[in-house]
Amino acid sequence: MTDRNGPILSARGLSREVDGRHLVDDVSLDVDQGQIIAIVGPSGAGKSSFLRLLNRLDEPTAGTVYLEGRDYREIPATELRRRVGMLMQAPNLFPGTVADNLRFGPTQRGETLSLERIAELLDRVGLSGFADRDVGQLSGGEAQRVSLARTLANEPQVLLLDEPTSALDVDSREEVESLIIDVIRDRELTCLFVTHDAPQARRLAGHAMVMEAGCCVTTGPVEEVLRA
Ligand SMILES: Nc1ncnc2c1ncn2[C@@H]1O[C@H](COP(=O)(O)OP(=O)(O)OP(=O)(O)O)[C@@H](O)[C@H]1O
Ligand SMILES: [Mg+2]
């Protein structure tokens, strides 16, 4: 059953224990449709580990996640990863052209991404005319924009971003950040993103969650949380 009025994504007692260590320890969080949440906290706090649990890239050792009210363990992995898209810190494109990379997700689902749609996606990320470029020739910022376009090709409902601009040089960092802001607003995406950059958290997010030692220690409006 899906519950259209409830949170779009709900972590319940979400935990991951590896070799007796709690990387993520009993985190519960409700995310409403359209909400943008920054995940902050010291290095090693479990922010990336938490994000990876949200689309089941890693398996929880306790707890679960509900996507529109449905336990995500009941949702086939390909469907789940389409609906909950992820953008990593460094672009992880595979060798080939830009278009090959954009087609990857849809092809896995037996769908064809039209040339028109490819052009539209590239236009969206400011890379018109890049379809036939070899990804080996792209700058870091361009590659990250292709990664974003590839995620968007799957038309996700929820977007997870793990320090999406921290590996870029300062100029492309600003470019990619403003692109991300535009895309999120355009599509009214629900979004969770990890950042070490408090000003970036304020620019992008309405809410923030602070993690320490695998636990969620605070959640609330970003201004209140970051002031504390
Ligand atoms: N696959 C793994 N197996 C065992 N331990 C892991 C694994 N991945 C991460 N860890 C450990 O889990 C803890 C949390 O790591 P995580 O990468 O989630 O932190 P983080 O908050 O994202 O840190 P950073 O800000 O440096 O990116 C760290 O102590 C890390 O060494
Ligand atoms: Mg991390």
pLDDT at 4: 62
Q: Could you give the CA distance from residue 52 to residue 55 in angstroms, rounded to a whole number?
A: 6
Q: Could you give the CA distance from residue 103 to residue 96 in angstroms, rounded to a whole number?
A: 11
Q: Give the β-pairing of 84-87 and 36-40.
A: unpaired
pLDDT at 57: 95
> Which residues face 160 on adjacent strands?
86, 192
Mean pLDDT of successive 10-residue segments in the chain (228 residues)? 77 97 98 96 97 97 98 95 93 94 91 95 95 96 94 94 91 90 91 94 95 97 90
pLDDT at 136: 96
Q: Take atom 2 of ligand 1 and give the residue whose Cα is closest.
A: 18
Residues near ligand 1 (Cβ within 6 A): 18, 23, 41, 43-49
User: How long a stretch of residues is the chain?
Assistant: 228
Two tokens, residue 52 = 């990876």
Residue 200 CA neighbour count, 13 Å, CB half: 24
Closest atom of ligand 1 relative to the 211 alpha carbon: 21
Which ligand has the minimum distance to the alpha carbon of residue 42?
Answer: 1
Walk me through the domains of the chain, giving residue ranges and CATH numbers. Answer: 9-227 (3.40.50.300)
Q: Take atom 9 of ligand 1 and give the residue whose Cα is closest.
A: 49
Q: Could you give the CA distance from residue 19 to residue 26 in angstroms, rounded to a whole number?
A: 17
Residue 148 CA neighbour count, 13 Å, CB half: 29
pTM of whole model > 0.85? yes
Distance 21 CA to ligand 1 centre (A): 10
pLDDT at 123: 94
Closest atom of ligand 1 relative to the 214 alpha carbon: 14
